[in-house]
A and B are shown apart, each in its own frame.
Chain A
Amino acid sequence: MAWLRRNLVVIVGLLVMAYILMPNLVVTMFSFNKPNGRYNYEWTQFSLDAWLNPCASAGLCESLGLSLWVAVVAALVSTVMGTMAAFALGRYRFRGRAATNLLVFFPMATPEVVMGSSLLTLFIAMGIPSGQVTILIAHILFTVSFVVTTVKARVASLDPALEQAAADLYATPSQAFWKVTFPLVAPGIAAGALLAFALSFDDYIVTNFNAGATTVTFPMFVWGAAQRGTPVQINVVGTVMFFGALAIVGFGQLIGARLRIGSRRKEAL
């Protein structure tokens, strides 16, 4: 009883963890299913069919390609714009700074359905047809604030003495920036870019408002598929994304650990 009380928080924590991970386990398991009929809801029989023919579901791979392309372009543009803005907000004093911060915050606090619909009214009013361009505009809009916030935190935590030290060592301002400041901020920029990519790749609601009838991103494909029957290939994509992300994180940790060990060895020498 005393043991239970002491470890209650651990038990509850593990149960909640199971709740968080259960859908991913189901997605993985059902990627090996061979369903009777169009709906992949009940386990019938083990099969590698979907894994061997990932593009067999008509339209899936095209939508995946479009989503990847949109996510890369949106992440690139919003990372460049967002990083520039983050430096301005993190390093300079100017009139209207507080208002700008608020303007950056608002899109993050707006429900997607409001953002998507208000953009749609603009595109309707201006007569801009929905398609890839409107999707990109929308995706850059809702990712740029996240980039600004991520990079700004990094810029704000920089020690100003470092650039002064560089100047003392006869670095020109541009040398000081590219050789000292930028490498220190780079992890923040990388994190912002990854976040922008992930947000864009996963978005359904805003995209659905601004994509039109013929431009189908991967989340829109999944939504459409869910109305007509669920191809097993969807689960294959979900499984690859989940374990791919875990592998990338694990690999990153491993390299980080190696680097730390390496630098410690150098210090020891």
Chain B
Amino acid sequence: MAALTQAAVGAEAPVSRPRRRGGLVPLVLLAPALLWLVVFFVVPTISLASQSLQTGDIDNGFTLTWNFAVYAEAMARYWPQFLRSMVYAASATLGTLVLGYPLAWFIAHRSGRWKNVLLVLVVAPFFTNFLIRTLAWQIILTDNGPVTGFFRATGLTAVLQAMGLTDNDSLLGSQFAVICGLVYNFLPFMVLPLYTILERLDVRLLDAAGDLYANGWQTFWRVIWPLSLPGVVSGTLLTFIPAAGDYINSRLLGNTQTVMIGQVIDAQFLRVLDYPIAAALSFILMAAIIVLVAGYVRAAGTEELV
């Protein structure tokens, strides 16, 4: 993850131009990894597409009939789950940005000699299996727990209910819990790229902005934010892509009304055994993410990112 962050932000790796023509050497070096990626990534993608266009059933086998109608059928049946996944992933991405930005700034510029300790603590939860940590959220948000008690006492439950994020005065088993879980799970993916970019930001720029009569908000919005955009872009990508496909949080923290598309794909592939529909949904998810990401990267003007 740190590697992806580093690669995406382009930090600490001065782009030195490869300087040799090695004849066959690079090909020999590349061969194993390349072979692996082609056989087990490119070929399966084609096999996924082919599976989606086959008809038949699990007992009699499937045959390729170029049944493009399956895509329309998949969308007609599962567009709510699909849309929900996109909305949840976008909300979670926004949540990680809002929470991660102050934390990244705090670690980069206000933590003094605690900087390394805090960085380690941001990453350390990853060493505990994420299912275990998500199960811990079930304990935290349980009905008789202190968190739910606090939310009820301060009237926050009523606010969440009015916003439609919870169905009753419980927190567990709601959209609120699912989005909180997603934010929690992907927060480090946002904090690390933001930290990398904010840490390199010259703090004298803030004094300069102050000298030019910018107030705090103007300094942030017109100086800090534009300079931190590369970190924001890679952080949002690193959060949105896995969040859109995730179904652990919606399964463990949500209810039947929070089912995300990953859950449907999993069930269709592994329990219902309707491979064509499952493959079509999987393919649509991938295509949707590629289109969204390409559009987003273009809009953000950082094409060299990939």
The reply to whether B270 and A209 contact each other, CB–CB distance below 8 Å, is yes
Chain A contact residues: over half helix, strand or loop, or mixed? helix
Q: Is A137 part of the contact surface with B, judged by Cβ < 8 Å? A: yes
Interfacial residues of chain B within 192-239, with CB under 8 A of chain A in the complex: 216, 237
Complex interface: chain B residues within 8 A of A185 (CB)? none
Query: Given the known A-B contacts A13-B106, A103-B34, A112-B242, are A117 and B26 also in contact in the complex, defined by CB atoms under 8 Å?
Result: no
A-B interface pairs (CB < 8 A), number = 301
Which of B3, B19, B38, B125 makes the CB contact (< 8 A) with A149?
B3
Q: Is B66 part of the contact surface with A, judged by Cβ < 8 Å? A: no
Complex interface: chain A residues within 8 A of B40 (CB)? 119, 122, 137-138, 140-141
Specify the chain A residue showing the minimal Cβ separation from B19: A160
Q: Is A166 part of the contact surface with B, judged by Cβ < 8 Å? A: no
Shortest CB-to-CB span from A196 to chain B, Å, is 10
Measured in the bound complex, the distance between the Cα atoms of B2 and A209 in whole Å is 26
Chain B contact residues: over half helix, strand or loop, or mixed? helix
Q: Is A202 part of the contact surface with B, judged by Cβ < 8 Å? A: yes
Shortest CB-to-CB span from B290 to chain A, Å, is 8
Query: Given the known A-B contacts A16-B99, A81-B33, A204-B248, are A10 and B18 also in contact in the complex, defined by CB atoms under 8 Å?
Result: no
Which of A121, A141, A147 makes the CB contact (< 8 A) with B41?
A141
Query: Given the known A-B contacts A27-B133, A146-B3, A156-B13, are A242 and B127 also in contact in the complex, defined by CB atoms under 8 Å?
Result: yes
The reply to whether A226 and B110 contact each other, CB–CB distance below 8 Å, is no
Measured in the bound complex, the distance between the Cα atoms of B30 and A121 in whole Å is 26
The reply to whether B130 and A202 contact each other, CB–CB distance below 8 Å, is yes
Which of A80, A85, A226 makes the CB contact (< 8 A) with B135?
A226
Complex interface: chain B residues within 8 A of A102 (CB)? 306
Measured in the bound complex, the distance between the Cα atoms of B44 and A51 in whole Å is 43
Residue-wise interface mask of A (89-109) relative to B, using a CB-CB cutoff of 8 A (1 in contact, 0 not):
111111001001011111111
Residues of B within 8 A of A (CB): 1-4, 6-7, 12-16, 18-22, 25-27, 29-30, 32-34, 36-38, 40-45, 47-48, 50-51, 99-100, 102-103, 105-107, 110-111, 116, 118, 120-122, 124-140, 142, 144, 184, 187-188, 216, 237, 241-242, 244-248, 252, 261-262, 265-266, 269-270, 275, 278-279, 282-283, 285-286, 289, 293, 306
* Sample (28) of A-B pairs whose CB atoms are under 8 Å apart: A30-B139, A41-B142, A89-B18, A89-B26, A91-B22, A92-B22, A93-B20, A93-B21, A97-B18, A109-B237, A112-B242, A114-B283, A117-B278, A118-B279, A144-B37, A149-B3, A157-B16, A195-B3, A202-B129, A204-B248, A222-B135, A226-B252, A237-B129, A238-B129, A241-B129, A242-B127, A245-B124, A249-B120
